[in-house]
Amino acid sequence: MYGLIRANFYVAVLLSVVGGLLTLLKPDWVFPEIMQIYGPLTRNLLIIVFYLVVTQILLWAFRYRQSGYLEALLMGGMLLMSALGIPFYSQINGLPVNLALVLGLAYCGLSHVLYFAYAYLYWRDKEER
């Protein structure tokens, strides 16, 4: 079971980095035809995506490779807050946002939290023995 959760976690990390980079390089895939109309408001959303990608890469480079699990909770929380915040921001400002972005953030966030929970329980049980 741990192997499956761990594999799902690494897929989520890969998806968040690759998906974030694709969003930054081709924003019209996620924000359809609004780059010309809502330029500054859309750039604010792109800055959020940029911060998430950079944070994910740094955490992977420094901790995930060493089987750290506390960082997965931090990143999962940030991804879930973004999944909730981006629709709120887009609704207040009247920006259309592709549902794939929100679902991708939610999937990655839940995968990170699940990995944290399982890794925490796994290592706690291992230390008790």
By mean pLDDT, which of 75-84, 89-98, 112-121 is the weakest? 89-98
Q: What is the mean pLDDT of residues 7-26?
A: 87
Q: What is the mean pLDDT of residues 99-104?
A: 86
What pLDDT does 6 receive? 84
Estimate to the nearest angstrom the gap between the alpha carbon of 126 and the chain centroid: 29
Estimate to the nearest angstrom the gap between the alpha carbon of 4 and the chain centroid: 19
Residue 86 has pLDDT above 80, yes or no: yes
* Residue type present at position 92: I
